[in-house]
Amino acid sequence: MSKRQVIKEKPIIKGKQVTSRGEEDYIKAIYKLSDEAEGERVTNHQLAVYFAHTAQTVNEMVRKLEKKEMLVYQPYKGSVLTTLGMEEAVRLIRAHRIWETFLTDKLGYAWEEVHEEAEMLEHLTSTKLADKLYAFLGAPEVCPHGNYIPALSDLKRDDLDTCGRLKLSKAKKGKQYCLKSVVDDKALLVYLNSLNIYIDLCFKIIERDLVSDIVTLTYDGRNTPLSGAVAQKLFVCEVYDAEDNA
């Protein structure tokens, strides 16, 4: 009999639930994959590999997102996000990086621990929450891995990750660099911890062996060799050190 207050649960985002978690993950993936190489379009095959989903599943998701006008799909060519899709992607990446920053800066998480948590939290983050968190963090420029935290209006992805930065694998012997960002890959981050390498570390390249594909850095008074695979995941900018110019 007790006519208790009726509670409608599961408003997963805010009110109308426009995009599900799965859809959001696809949008983000397309955004990220769309300029990892240089090709504009992201093929279904790329998505299938990325998510370890079947071709059928990818096709279904892509078609669904197309219907929602988040992307334009051309069979045998791939998908391009619409402006709507880009906005969604940027909203998610912004939330992701804000959470990562919160977890490390405020709660003391290590940089290799935050990605998974952020991967979940980003999907429950209203614009209001993201903005309040961002302000609370003091409007940080970058996440713990050095990637820019975009504003909602920053749809140009070129600016986001590698803006003006150089892959360490393309850096030159004899010059000095400062580490600006790293790929958010747990194994890599743990490895970098073990070498005492972190964002804003400055070092000099003392060797580049093209045959063995190894770059050797100097910092903290010792030499550290890095494989090409690792060097490809680190982004640096050149440092013009006065004392070194002499």
Total number of residues that touch DNA (CB under 7 A): 23
CB of 202 to Mn ion, least distance (A): 21
Handedness of CA 100, 101, 103, 108 (dihedral sign): positive
How many other C-beta atoms are found inside a 10 Å radius of the C-beta of residue 211?
A: 5
- Residue 198's Cβ-side half-sphere holds a number of Cα atoms within 13 Å equal to 9
Count other Cβ atoms within 10 Å, centred on residue 70.
Answer: 26
Q: Is 3 in the site for a copy of itself (CB under 8 A)?
A: yes
How many C-beta atoms lie closer than 10 Å to residue 88's C-beta?
23
Closer to Mn ion by CB, 100 or 113: give it: 100
Angle at the Cα of 189 from the Cα atoms of 110 and 120, rounded to 5 degrees: 60
Least gap, CB of 223 to DNA (angstroms):
43
Window 21-40: residues binding a copy of itself (CB under 8 A): 21-22, 25, 37
Q: Which of 51, 73, 191, 198 binds a copy of itself (CB under 8 A)?
A: 51
Residue 68 as a binder of DNA (CB under 7 A): the answer is no
DSSP conformation class of 208: E
Quick one: what does residue 145 bind among DNA, Mn ion, a copy of itself, none, with the CB cut-off 5 to 8 Å set by partner type?
Mn ion
Q: Which member of 61, 81, 230, 234 binds DNA (CB under 7 A)?
A: 61
List Cβ<8 Å contacts ≥24 apart for 154-160: 154/90, 155/83, 155/86, 155/87, 155/90, 157/31, 157/34, 157/35, 158/35, 160/93
Rg (CA), the chain: 21
Per DSSP, the three-state class of 167 is strand
Question: Judged by CB under 7 A, which of 35, 59, 129, 133 binds DNA?
Answer: 59
- The footprint of Mn ion (CB under 5 A) covers 100, 115, 143, 145, 184
Site for a copy of itself in 75-114 (CB under 8 A): 103, 106-109
In this complex, which beta carbon is closest to a copy of itself, that of residue 104 or of residue 147?
104
List 6, 76, 210, 222, residue binding DNA (CB under 7 A): 76
* Binding span for DNA by CB under 7 A among 75-83, 132-140, 162-170, 178-186: 75-83
E-assigned strands of 64-201?
71-74, 78-81, 166-167, 176-182
CB 80 within 8 A of CB 41: yes
Residues that bind a copy of itself (CB under 8 A): 2-12, 21-22, 25, 37, 46, 49-52, 103, 106-109, 116-117, 119-121, 124, 126, 129, 132-133, 136, 185
Query: Site residues (CB under 7 A) for DNA?
Result: 10, 20-23, 43-45, 52-57, 59-61, 63-64, 75-78
